[in-house]
Structure 1
Amino acid sequence: MYSANQERGHLLPIICLAVLWAFLWPIAIQAAGPIRWAQTGGPLGGMVHALAIHPDNPDLIFMGAQNGLYKSLDGGAHWVRLSGGSLDCQEITELAIAPLDARVIYAGGSEGLFRSVDGGESWVQLGSGLTSDLVLSLAVHPLQSEVLYLGSENAVFKSADHGDHWEYSGQGLPETSVWSLAIDPSNPQTLFAGTDQGLYRSDDGGVSWRPVGHDFLKEQRVQTIALDPHLTRRIWVGTPQGLFRSDDGGTSWVIVQQFGEHPSVSEIVLHPLEQNAIYCNAGLHWVFKSTDGGTNWMRLNPAWSAQGLVLAIAVHPTDSRRLYVGTAEGLYRSSDGGDTWTASNEGFIASDVRMVLDVPGNRDQLYAATRWGVYETTDGGQTWEARNHGLPNLDLVWLALDPIDPKHLFAATWEGEICHSSDGGRSWALAHSPLAAGVQVTGILVGWRQTALEVPTILYMSTDGAGVWRSLDFGVSWEHLALGLPGSRVSAIWLSPKEEQFIYVGVGREVYRLPVNADPAETLVWKRVTTQPLNGHVTSGLVEPKHHNILVATDAGSIYRVEPNGTGTNLARDSLPSNLLIEALAIATPKGRAPLFYAVTSGGLFTSNDNGHTWSFSSLGCPQRATIRSLAVDDRQFEYLYVGTDKGGVYRGRDMSARMASWVNYGLAFIGICAFLVAGEAGRRYLAKYQIARQGKVIEQNWASWDQAITHALDVHNRVTPDMLSIIPAQMRIAAMRRYIEAHRDQDLLFQEDTQAIVPANHLKLQHFAESWASLVERLDSPKRAAPIATHITEQLCDLLGFSPLESRTFKSVFGHMVKAP
């Protein structure tokens, strides 16, 4: 037994080392700490799924978007994203405000249903009794605010206690998606449900259902339902075939309007004060208005682009001239009945950024290529300006500039068009139409020149299906560079440092290179660089300065360092999961220390500061739910990084390890680690055995019930997070989750460090498949345009994920809300 003096003797060095560690820790964490991220000021806009106007205060508007729920207190002029709790960063596609108590708001989406009882200040997640997290439709009882109905992917559910508990309410309904729900305000026992197989009616509060209007609506997807507040038996429904109306409660129907080539209607809004005023979306991109009950229609002048899908419509409850339209590129509002529109996205940052491009030599100047054009910032991302004048197509996939003369910009569109700007993006001109139909551009780069006066500019373009091309006249004409390449599907292209003068491409599992040359008379032949096929298809690459080794990333989670003799070493074998798709690589070369490497993957951003030997995850916080598409390093301030996300705009990060000299970093880190180890060893005799024994005893005593709780959570949600395990003490949940994975090795489970969750091993692959496939939704209106791209991407993803293509597979969509394969 220790005496008191002995205990104090052991505690004294621990206290001294703890004080030393507390002093050194703030310095050491700067030397090896994580990247500090902050969202920039744009680009503004993004996909708007739902709108809800407060009935008592019309200046209070809620907006459901792809990256969360937003609120405006000034009629849509400014927006604030509601964060905190389980609602944070969820995709919200459905909104409903309780008619009798406007403080009660419901929000639903792909991750479940949420409720606020204080006007949106705080939120809780609901779902007891639901069989799916997917919320497709909502309806609140007009006289009993505690009663509401929910449509999911296969049923209707009813709650009588504000959504706390749910029960199945779909007798007579087919087992299919319920896209819309409506309650008759004059007789709340009467409900209508729009499904993939037509319209159904219930006259007993949802207990039983029967089909109505099957002469017109059978086998049609009823996407939206609106009950006329002035004529109680009049019903409006929208389907992919147009707008339909019934004047006798659903017994008989007439086709009101089929809006041209694209008749699909997914939104109908009736004004509560004006009897014959009706608004609907149609033709994917248009809003139509009728003031005579649907006899005549007027197309409202849009301010959004031709690619901007109309997903939500709302009308001011007391002023029919004040309209709100939610599109795939942001929110627009009108105060004159739709004659003129104004983009209203201040504070709403959910843009899809495909590429971020740093301007060499210009501090804080960047360009961003998005689904809606080119944007420029000159203040490090605080403000962004659109640079789209003259662009024939705003849906961009690639952006490049001349490093010697950055005013020359080149952009590639989704369709394969090549555009050129000679004034820094102020104006654009179409340089060349697509080189081949249905072929995706995978990269554009400009070869090195000694001076801006040296001509010509050497422009290279790689494609997935048409090989590599070179242009010597700013993209007007192109020469095919195919000699020596084994195929035409080129997945990546990159440039060597200026002194080496080579371009590199990835073809399948191999890398080839070609000298940078502007002589059209010289025959150029590609030379294979890798001596053996790599593990996975090449997705990105870069050339290390000074050493001239190349780093090559693949879709199998591998990062190879290939030496000049062609031999390659997999640097990520032990530090990156093999199921990650590595999409891009970047390098920063601060003076006085080793280079910093960055890898953009399907699972987030990984960094390495030890020459690529080990990699660590860098979380962006909320955007971890989004896909990081690209990364750029500030060439004048190497500690600053910029990443483009698919639903969060551009984020700016500061890598603190890039600021300090290497000997300071490593010295401080070494001292801190030594202090920590000594303190830990001194305290181990007091704490380690006791804590291990106590925790192990508690886990063993309770393992049977804890094992069942984790299994149940995994069965219901297909993932397990600590907050789902209320039966387990909070401090032991992570340990119990790790033990569960060890005890159930046959289930092929993974523990995600960033989200602290158990997920199936194929979770990230399936998520990437869904996100990639969702990008095709905007083209599904035209099979002719969508088929080549869809077929190609489907084949590619099947190959990446190990799926077998199914000949009879069908896909359904509703204007960007979601994609599902029944």
Structure 2
Amino acid sequence: MTKLYYPVIRRSPLWLTATAFAFFGLNQSQAVTASALAQKLNLSIEQVTRIQSQNALSPESLNALPPEKLPELLRELGHQDLPRERAAFRLLQEVDEKHQIPPQPILTALKQLQELRRQIKALKVSGIPVGKVIVPKMMILPFTAGLNPNHTGWSNLGPTNIGGRTRSIIVHPTKPGVMWVGSVGGGVWRTDDGGKNFIPVNDLMANLAVSCMAIDPKNPNLIYAGTGEGFGNEDALRGGGIFLTTDGTTWSQLASTMKPEFSVINRLSISSDSKIMLIAVGRTDTSLGGIYRSADAARQTWVRQLSGDICEVAFHPTLSLKAIASGLSDGNAYYSDDAGQHWTSAKHPETWSGRIELAYARKNPDVVYASIDRNGGEIWRSSDGGKNYVKRSAVGSDGNVVRYLGEQGWYDNVVWAADPTNENKIILGGIDLWKSTDGGDSFIDISTWWDERSAHADQHVIASSADFDGVGKKAIYFGNDGGVYETEDIDTVGNDPDPPRVAGWVRLDNTYGVTQFYSGAGNTSSGVIIGGAQDNGTLCSVPSQRLTWTTMFGGDGGYCASDASDPNTFYGEYVFGNIHRSMDQGQTAEFISGQYWDGKQWSWKQIPYQITDAQLQQCNFIAPITIDPNNSNSVLVGCRSLWRTIDAKTPNTNATGPKWTPIKNSTGVNISATAVAKGNSDLIWVGHNNGDVFMTMNGTASAPTWVRINDHGGSVLPSRFCTRVVIDPADSKRVYLAFGGYTSSNVWKTTDSGQTWSNISKGLPQAPVRSLAIHPDNPRFLYLGTEVGVFASEDAGASWSPTNEGPTNCSVEELFWMNRTLVAATHGRGFFQIDLTAAGGASPAVPGG
């Protein structure tokens, strides 16, 4: 299959009618009705209009869409709103048995981690020996299974050419080229050369979910970062308040924001005289959110001045008493005339709804623009500082109203009006980017998400360069789901005669390694590594170009698997159990779960050549894939049922391919983890979303017998998301289970095939555990990937150490081995590796089971 770039999936109620738009293959000046286009493409009118509405495609852009991309757009019509579904899946792994998340869970977990590190350092300073144990067991220093406790040894594997979701960009006001960007999973990064190179400012910053930043107008050495992403995502990546740097590199947390109400900071704003800071706080389970105000220089005192789910707050560019704000979901906009102490609702002749983004016009701050998540996107304008608004026409080149937000303005919505020479010049960002020079009455699209030469889809932030003057210096930076992009001239970018709009776009993801992976796998023989990335597809890295990754399959990536016996064969996942296979080391891939493109539409093969649960979307958003370590032709996929093929490498056609059979019937709850014992294909374990765990000892039978083992031996396992099942290759009776939730008791062990269980979580922070790896040469050496980094044990889990404080403080989704090198796939900082060859030969430090 041709390797393509695919966008975030979008779907919700339709707003587009069957109006005229351009036809594939016609000149841009020609236009046909939706019915004519549907007839030409053998589609229904509904399909045609949904394609345009979901993807916010202008008529011209749809006209220019390459024919080979049409199958991907049609494939996505069958799914719900993927950003929300993605978030809901993440939430499943974070809640406890009561479906709750405690206040500031990341902050609490990291505090526990820091305290554990402090205790270890204190013990070392005290000179506790590392030889024979001569102190009480409770004082034994946890060992690190070969990892250096000084944060050394890890090396980055990239990708350095593929970014990730970026919601904040700030530029130094007097030093062109100096800029900080904030990733929602990978923390704050700095560039001193205008984006040619980026470096992370602090991998061990106490929270890497950076959603917004602000620079002090009077002192550019003071930079604030707000954490926690609350833009309508169900998971709302949990934050830890506000962080401050005085040198652009070293960050500390504002103690005053170490409270539950500061878990989701959507926006920061500082008055022009630097005296007042306002923050927009999103709603959480434990807080109503609102606008908080601090009037002391140290930012130690905060007062909530307005309650609500707030997404935007901004001070007037020059008048410190004036400010504007808006809601995330209720359609409200506000203004203040007393530096944020009191707020008044703005007036507008129509009822607003949804998320609202606001922007002062730099040329004339009496002008305020409002981008409304209603009817696919509406632009309104105020001429009195945000008190009263009037709707603008927002007509595109075809004469129709532009629907720039598509169907996900709750997720991506931004407006820019910072040209110092023209108050009528605005840029709107939704899925693509649009520009107006007449105050919002007419627009042209300036980007085309489906072309890799243009800006990536889903716009979140727009920032002018430090020397932007609207005349000779007109560079602007954009943050989106693909990272950071730039244009040197906002007046000429995307001015191609016809779409795609690619002129003037520059991708600035050089060394900006913030890709959010769900999974990873590698082949020792070929050295090829693949990873399933959020919104960036299943990506591939080869040894000759390790840091520069390519696309194996587009869309959202998921779980991955590598055939240990064949250096060419890899498996990946789109979403909901849609499995694809590559047999050329990740250069191309095709579905093997039953769907196929017949040249006109997507169809499903007949049973047994399909995973029926995938067709019905009865799977987790990211469903587990496991290759039988004893038979590489046997691949298992966990959905509502457990599906298996024993001819995974069978050639694929539109009618045949690998045959799939359910070998474990549905319990009504999705399967979340699977494992097959090395040396015994009959021994299979599965975990479920609700914590149920099953085992079979005749797994190769056509109808295996399954035994539920949650409550054997009097120790009841957690009834929350089972993230991982790991069977010890050296002893199949020894099995480890990992669970989600910001709570204790997330790692369990049995040494008798589930007859009895031990909770081996003591000493670990209360955070989701997402992966577990056993050293190939020493089964007592364990490595855990958690929401807050990697932990290790040298005694099969009897005690744990926070290893080398690495590779970062972000979530480690997957740990796997390439020979004796441990590889970590993170959700926000890409891939890392560390050579642990020497560790495997060490003797266990403390006797363990």
Instruction: Confirm or deny a common fold (TM above 0.5).
Output: yes
Conserved in 1, the CA contact under 8 Å of 2:145 and 2:792? no
Conserved in 2, the CA contact under 8 Å of 1:483 and 1:524? no
Corresponding residue of 1:205: 339
**Rounded Cα–Cα distance in structure 2 between residues aligned with 1:484 and 1:151:** 48
**Rounded Cα–Cα distance in structure 2 between residues aligned with 1:551 and 1:130:** 38
Change (3 A) 1:515 1:323: farther
- State the Cα deviation string for residues 211-259 of structure 1 (Å, max 9, x = none): 222433656543x221223334321012322321123443342145464
**Rounded Cα–Cα distance in structure 2 between residues aligned with 1:479 and 1:129:** 52
> Structure 1 residue 368: deviation in Å?
2.1
Conserved in 1, the CA contact under 8 Å of 2:266 and 2:279? yes
Corresponding residue of 2:458: 309
Alignment-mate amino acid for residue 272 of structure 1: D
Corresponding residue of 1:72: 191
Conserved in 2, the CA contact under 8 Å of 1:169 and 1:206? no
Residue 113 in structure 1 maps to residue 274 in structure 2? no
Change (3 A) 1:19 1:343: closer
**Rounded Cα–Cα distance in structure 2 between residues aligned with 1:80 and 1:187:** 35
> Structure 1 residue 71: deviation in Å?
1.5
TM-score by length of 1: 0.66
Change (3 A) 1:56 1:491: closer
- State the Cα deviation string for residues 341-367 of structure 1 (Å, max 9, x = none): 3331223222212112131334x5432
Alignment-mate amino acid for residue 589 of structure 1: P
**Rounded Cα–Cα distance in structure 1 between residues aligned with 2:723 and 2:278:** 46
SS in 2 for 1:568: coil
What pairs with 1:479-490 in structure 2 (closer than 5 Å)? Answer: 479-482=660-663, 489-490=670-671
Alignment-mate amino acid for residue 413 of structure 1: Y
**Rounded Cα–Cα distance in structure 2 between residues aligned with 1:543 and 1:124:** 41
Corresponding residue of 1:373: 537
Conserved in 2, the CA contact under 8 Å of 1:401 and 1:445? no
Change (3 A) 1:236 1:648: same
2:440 to 291, 294, 303: 294
Alignment-mate amino acid for residue 205 of structure 1: A
1:634 to 796, 818, 839: 818
**Rounded Cα–Cα distance in structure 2 between residues aligned with 1:580 and 1:121:** 27
> Structure 1 residue 423: deviation in Å?
0.5
| Structure whose CA Rg is larger | 1
Q: If each structure's helix is expressed as a fraction of its own residues, which one has the higher value?
A: 1
Alignment-mate amino acid for residue 443 of structure 2: W
What pairs with 1:17-416 in structure 2 (closer than 5 Å)? Answer: 34=147, 37-44=153-160, 45-66=163-184, 67-83=186-202, 89-109=207-227, 110-118=239-247, 120-123=248-251, 125-126=253-254, 132-133=261-262, 134-142=264-272, 144-153=273-282, 154-166=289-301, 168=303, 170=305, 173=306, 175-185=307-317, 187-195=319-327, 196=330, 198-216=332-350, 220-222=354-356, 224-241=357-374, 242-249=378-385, 250-257=387-394, 259-260=402-403, 261-262=406-407, 264=409, 266-275=413-422, 278-283=425-430, 285-302=431-448, 308-316=457-465, 317-318=468-469, 322-335=475-488, 337-338=493-494, 339-340=502-503, 341-362=505-526, 365-371=528-534, 372-379=536-543, 383-389=546-552, 391=553, 393-416=554-577
Q: Which moved more, 1:593-602 or 1:56-65?
A: 593-602
> Structure 1 residue 504: deviation in Å?
4.2
SS in 1 for 2:801: strand
Bigger relative contact order (CA 8 A; separation at least 6): 2
**Rounded Cα–Cα distance in structure 2 between residues aligned with 1:122 and 1:656:** 34
RMSD (Å) for aligned C-alpha atoms = 4.0
1:557 to 746, 749, 766: 746
Change (3 A) 1:549 1:308: farther
Corresponding residue of 1:568: 755
**Rounded Cα–Cα distance in structure 2 between residues aligned with 1:217 and 1:275:** 29
**Rounded Cα–Cα distance in structure 1 between residues aligned with 2:128 and 2:580:** 59
> Structure 1 residue 511: deviation in Å?
2.8
Which runs of no fewer than 5 residues in structure 1 stay unpaired? Answer: 1-17, 451-456, 518-522, 671-822
Change (3 A) 1:511 1:562: farther
Corresponding residue of 1:660: 841
Corresponding residue of 2:38: none
What pairs with 1:652-691 in structure 2 (closer than 5 Å)? Answer: 652-655=833-836, 658-660=839-841, 662=843
> Structure 1 residue 620: deviation in Å?
5.2
Which runs of no fewer than 5 residues in structure 2 stay unpaired? Answer: 1-125, 134-140, 228-238, 283-288, 395-400, 495-501, 596-613, 740-744
Q: Which moved more, 1:154-163 or 1:624-633?
A: 154-163
TM-score by length of 2: 0.64
**Rounded Cα–Cα distance in structure 2 between residues aligned with 1:370 and 1:157:** 35
2:643 to 451, 468, 472: 468
Change (3 A) 1:76 1:169: same
Conserved in 1, the CA contact under 8 Å of 2:202 and 2:251? no
Conserved in 2, the CA contact under 8 Å of 1:48 and 1:326? yes
**Rounded Cα–Cα distance in structure 1 between residues aligned with 2:354 and 2:127:** 71
Conserved in 2, the CA contact under 8 Å of 1:312 and 1:327? yes
Corresponding residue of 1:420: 581
SS in 2 for 1:492: strand
> Structure 1 residue 326: deviation in Å?
0.9
Q: Which moved more, 1:32-41 or 1:365-374?
A: 32-41
Alignment-mate amino acid for residue 326 of structure 2: G
Conserved in 2, the CA contact under 8 Å of 1:388 and 1:428? no
2:706 to 521, 528, 531: 528
SS in 2 for 1:618: coil
SS in 2 for 1:525: coil
Q: Which moved more, 1:250-259 or 1:287-296?
A: 250-259
Conserved in 1, the CA contact under 8 Å of 2:815 and 2:822? yes
- State the Cα deviation string for residues 296-326 of structure 1 (Å, max 9, x = none): 2122224677994321112331356533221
**Rounded Cα–Cα distance in structure 2 between residues aligned with 1:585 and 1:411:** 20
> Structure 1 residue 550: deviation in Å?
4.8
Conserved in 2, the CA contact under 8 Å of 1:580 and 1:602? yes
**Rounded Cα–Cα distance in structure 1 between residues aligned with 2:214 and 2:128:** 56
Change (3 A) 1:90 1:430: closer
Change (3 A) 1:130 1:166: farther
Change (3 A) 1:513 1:602: farther
1:436 to 616, 622, 625: 616
What pairs with 1:707-746 in structure 2 (closer than 5 Å)? Answer: none
How many residues in Structure 1 have an aligned counterpart in Structure 2? 616
Residue 509 in structure 1 maps to residue 692 in structure 2? yes
> Structure 1 residue 82: deviation in Å?
1.9
Q: Percent identity?
A: 18
SS in 2 for 1:658: helix
Conserved in 2, the CA contact under 8 Å of 1:89 and 1:623? no
